Structure 1
């Protein structure tokens, strides 16, 4: 089934710079720093806009003051597109030229914490759905915007969403995270390992009377470093390789005491097929083989966070449709991969649908940065490309 050019033109005319910038500004002003658990104000702004646009909306409380939000543009009975975003932002920190939650415009850019990651992407999707509704687009399937909490920390929101919506069907997922409007077809996943080492404290004058947990932890770190080097020797052309990072280490009670305990927090980046629990078991095996957990030293470890990776073939219709829609909006979108992780991995894994990331703003030069900003032209282009994807992808046989 072909979508008429006149309908596309009508929808694109309804997507204005004023609409997308106005909504993005309101979302930025709502804050939502995480850690902090303050996403509710952002959801209230998004919900008011979507209700005003005539969309069906739903909020689902994940934790006090932390609601997931869903807006749906109703269509036919076929599976439709899912757009995915998150309502939280990283802490603003200091050093800003202005107030991070008082958005401002300068030289064609919108400034404020979350402008790129990812209030701008949320605004672009919502404005696109509003234009489709106003134009009376007859879509064969629902188009859904899901906005989750806690993406920047432990992913409580996406886990709650996949459980609550387990029976729903989607044709594909577009994560509106910042990619400079490039089409990202694969992402590494991520996992956190908490490792606790227990020994026995003693006076440092007689260290042989104790069992030093920090010494044992240092040996574990060397195992992790060795595995990291091994992983880098087999790099994937799109996503690179899995990797380890020791993010936190805490231990001991005083300089003149043998450390009786030590705690490590490890970050392990995942390839799409990696299982963090299997990786942890392999680490436990190496710890045992090295004799670290003997002679009064005990080691316990657990996976405290996991976020799966994903990969969509470069020739998939979702990918070619996205590149084509952006081309019709005047943008040459490059196809590539991310070494970062995002919530899209949960959708790809739990719903079994092709998934990409494409949105306004720069991940590496703007997201999580002081004086974060996004190109206003990219906001407008993203909204228009999202609308074209709804018309073309949902309407395809």
Structure 2
């Protein structure tokens, strides 16, 4: 077909990608999915044990340590030279299966070239593709290619909730330098060079109860909360007045509201649960501080009303330059694996923000499966061919960045 891309692989690259074992990628994905690791509702221990055994069998140096009871992080390393290495990042937890599955979500089914089960896309399939690529890269010297630095898989717990795994990981002393990190989340093999961050801000409003027949005797926490919601709505609109080409802008969403004692009582309490998406340069504690100031400036928390504003979850955003070698190598690797790709931003958040912010490692997100159409829903699935493509792309990226 005219205009179709012709892969440009060296003989060594071709020999190595030919070693990608579809059956092995499928088997590891299946084994990981069939070790349930729902979050909340369980632990990641069983899934991580399977991953650890697979990595040890391939000769990787493996370290696991518990972040919480039965919640172990895993670090698997393929040694290389003394130069900076390449990191792959994944998470072992999955969201709860939920209702409306057509079969057991933790018994993998194969149909029309796809694997069905909770976690096939987000993101146990991506982890299996990384392991397959590392297995092939361990053979690089057989084809005259030496790796200038290590290749490392970091698999963390609790990504779907509070991020205790990645927070623990980035807080530990570094033992190697890395030129880049590829987060194997499902992007449909499109290259995400920037993500917005996420934060949860919880607000507790306290007023004073009174009989509803004499509301002036009390102080309504619901009325105060409504004024806060009005400010948040206005600020959300204000943020959209200035859009970044890659990530757009930060956003507000009031997701929950609870309050009041009864219909005939002036509401003494009200609570708000708020999602604030963050641009890479934004600090959620500074955002919360600005919100507190706005509440004070508008006299919402005076005359018998108190307001407590707390950040209860944060996940930083990041942006990697379009011309960074990690990005350009990934573009070539995916394209030469036979898949069209693009470079852009992501409205979702991921653990890569911590690696970028706290460790200073440039990051991208690149993985098999589609986060919008396949992840976090009944009958989650991933195409086996996409798992193989991801393994090939990870292999080529590793070779081109570290050879």
Question: TM-score, length-normalised on structure 1?
Answer: 0.96
Q: CA deviation at 1:167?
A: 5.2
Classify the secondary structure of the residue corresponding to 1:303.
Answer: strand
* Other-structure match for 1:117: 122
Uncovered stretches (5+) of structure 1, i.e. residues with no partner? none
* Other-structure match for 1:372: 380
Deviation digits for residues 201-229 of structure 1, max 9, x if unmatched?
A: 12222222211111111110111111000
* Other-structure match for 1:90: 95
Q: CA deviation at 1:154?
A: 0.8
1:139–1:394 contact (8 Å) kept in structure 2: yes
1:42 lines up with 2:47 in the alignment: yes
* Other-structure match for 2:22: 17
1:344 lines up with 2:352 in the alignment: yes
2:402 to 389, 394, 397: 394
**C-alpha separation between the residues in 2 aligned to 1:147 and 1:262?**
39
1:325–1:388 contact (8 Å) kept in structure 2: yes
**C-alpha separation between the residues in 2 aligned to 1:76 and 1:232?**
47
1:245 lines up with 2:253 in the alignment: yes
2:85–2:176 contact (8 Å) kept in structure 1: no
Q: CA deviation at 1:135?
A: 4.7
Q: CA deviation at 1:394?
A: 1.2
Matches for 1:69-148 after TM superposition, within 5 Å: 69-136=74-141, 138-148=146-156
2:241 to 233, 244, 261: 233
Classify the secondary structure of the residue corresponding to 1:78.
Answer: coil
Matches for 1:181-260 after TM superposition, within 5 Å: 181-260=189-268
Matches for 1:298-317 after TM superposition, within 5 Å: 298-317=306-325
1:287 lines up with 2:292 in the alignment: no
1:169–1:351 contact (8 Å) kept in structure 2: no
Matches for 1:265-284 after TM superposition, within 5 Å: 265-284=273-292
1:10–1:135 contact (8 Å) kept in structure 2: no
Deviation digits for residues 357-383 of structure 1, max 9, x if unmatched?
A: 000000111111111111111100000
* Other-structure match for 1:65: 70
2:76–2:153 contact (8 Å) kept in structure 1: yes
Uncovered stretches (5+) of structure 2, i.e. residues with no partner? 1-8
**C-alpha separation between the residues in 1 aligned to 2:232 and 2:98?**
31
Question: TM-score, length-normalised on structure 2?
Answer: 0.95
Q: CA deviation at 1:200?
A: 1.0
Classify the secondary structure of the residue corresponding to 2:79.
Answer: strand
